[in-house]
Amino acid sequence: MNNDRLSHGLWEATSSPLPDAGRLEGDINAEVVIVGGGFTGCAAALHLAESGRATVLLEGDEIGFGGSGRNVGLVNAGLWVMPDELPRRLGTRRGEQLLKQLGDAPSLVFDLVQRYSIDCEATTAGTLHCAAGQSGLEELAERARQWQQLGAPIELLDAAETRHKLGTDAYSGSLLDRRAGTIQPLAYVRGLARAATELGSRLFVRSPVSGFNRKGASWNVQTAGGSVTAPWVIIATDAYSELATARIRREQILLPYFNLATRPLNSSQLSKILPQRQGAWDTKKILSSFRLDNGGRLIFGSVGALRGTGKPIHVGWAYRELSRLFPELGDVEFEHQWYGQIGMTSDALPRFHCLDRNMISISGFNGRGIAPGTTFGRDLAQVVTGALGVDELALPATEVKIASLRPVKSTLYEIGAQAAHFLGSRR
């Protein structure tokens, strides 16, 4: 997008075309305005369209421009927070409700994919959280115990079973989550947008929102080319919030993350590396993730930005790390490279905000955007339609609080990743 090969990489090269949309020109009316064309905004638009609401979605760039079109594509259940922590932090009712909702969230994603025939390379083989050393294995064993007590289809695998599923002996065990899977994320979010427009939602791209004004009982949402007047506004811009929605971004620490995609592997390599097509990531503090796409490319990612000194350091480390993990790859060649940013909240929990009368948002997915974004988008739509009350949500309504020292902390993430990868590439 925007002639930048490092923004969306493989996903843009293999995604279905953008839904037919142009800039907003002129003044129009609707029942709901959604700001942001990622997983949350497009899921909300689709569910509102299903309910017959006249909906307009405004995207400042193109559909999937932010984190939705740049991530790894792991459709995971739950959050980084341990399951037992949620009732303690949110109270029993909300904590248990959120556990169930996010445990079921991958099935909602795959149901929408099937129901609307979204061509996004969806696989339901599960995901593998891989243990780095004994401490990582102990962490996963405890996570498995807590999920299993809730009846989740979680299995703790030993080193030998993990080696069989991954094709590497680098990990001491892994957590197999059968609820989860992988998708081509940009194709998925474009598919949600396309389904919403086919049901009547109006979609406008390259239409960044510059302001909000009250107009009687409604909101007048302004862009450079026009405005939309509607009783309800949903803000779904998350870590890529700009201009009139920038305060949502300032509540989060921005964590850079990059992905590299190899050329398609040969049949012998594919028989050994992730042969069952699970997506995987590890327990390291500077974590790594890896998965395959439908074309047989190995997609490898980690913390860091592919800019400045970071680009040669991160890419150089990736060459060496992949050779260590999978020696049968031989001379690795990357066909695509891209990166983006993840919004991290102070407690690793999402945020629900009633920003003003009939203006609501959910943000702060902490690297778990696909399934939570989809299910929370549905929640926002149901609040608008009255099918769900604000007090019935799993997330409590909170005030927007600007994260302390956020520029410093964001910079430290990148410095730490560069240091780890610089040292790691020379061992």
Name which of 283, 305, 276, 299 is nearest 416 in CA terms: 305
Q: Can you tell me the distance from the alpha carbon of 290 to that of 301, in angstroms, rounded to the nearest whole number?
A: 6
Note the pLDDT of residue 425: 52
The CA dihedral of 372, 376, 378, 384, to the nearest 10 degrees, is -170
- Which tokens go with 110? 């795959």
Is residue 206 classed exposed, middle or buried when 0-12, 13-18 and 19+ CB atoms within 10 A define those classes?
middle
**What is the SS3 assignment for the chain?**
CCCCHHHHHHHHHHCCCCCCCECCCEEEECCEEEECCCHHHHHHHHHHHHCCCCEEEECCCCCCCCHHHCCCCEECCCCCCCCCHHHHHHCHHHHHHHHHHHHHHHHHHHHHHHHCCCCCCCECCCEEEEECHHHHHHHHHHHHHHHHHCCCCEEEECHHHHHHHHCCCCCCEEEEECCCEECCHHHHHHHHHHHHHHCCCEEECCCCEEEEEEECCEEEEEECCEEEEECEEEECCHHHCCHHHHHHHHCCEEEEEEEEEECCCCHHHHCCCCCCCCEEEECCCCCEEEEECCCCCEEEEEECCCCCCHHHHHHHHHHHHHHHHCHHHCCCCEEEEEEEEEEECCCCCCEEEEEECCEEEEECCCCCCHHHHHHHHHHHHHHHHCCCCHHHCCCCECCCCCCCCHHHHHHHHHHHHHHHHHHHCCC
Burial 240-277 (b: 16+ CB within 10 A, else e): bbeebbeebbebbbbbbbbbbbbeebeeebbeebbeeb
Strand order in the sheet with 154-157: 154-157, 173-177, 127-131, 279-282, 288-292, 298-303, 253-262, 334-344
Contacts of 205 (CB under 8 A, 6+ apart): 18, 21, 22, 23, 37, 59, 61, 62, 63
In tens, the pLDDT along 69-100 reads 999 999 999 999 999 999 999 999 999 999 99
| CA 178, chain centre distance (Å) | 19
Contacts of 122 (CB under 8 A, 6+ apart): 75, 109, 110, 113, 181, 182, 183, 188
Q: Can you tell me the distance from the alpha carbon of 249 to that of 411, in angstroms, rounded to the nearest whole number?
A: 15
- Which tokens go with 72? 């790894």
Name which of 299, 305, 326 is nearest 256 in CA terms: 305
Q: Can you tell me the distance from the alpha carbon of 316 to that of 81, in angstroms, rounded to the nearest whole number?
A: 32
Q: Can you tell me the distance from the alpha carbon of 18 to that of 21, in angstroms, rounded to the nearest whole number?
A: 8
* Inter-helix orientation angle 39-50/370-385, to 10°: 40
Is residue 156 classed exposed, middle or buried when 0-12, 13-18 and 19+ CB atoms within 10 A define those classes?
buried
Note the pLDDT of residue 427: 42
Low-confidence ranges of the chain (pLDDT < 50): 427
Q: Can you tell me the distance from the alpha carbon of 383 to that of 385, in angstroms, rounded to the nearest whole number?
A: 6
Q: Can you tell me the distance from the alpha carbon of 339 to that of 305, in angstroms, rounded to the nearest whole number?
A: 6
Q: Can you tell me the distance from the alpha carbon of 199 to that of 214, in angstroms, rounded to the nearest whole number?
A: 28
In tens, the pLDDT along 140-178 reads 999 999 999 999 999 999 999 999 999 999 999 999 999
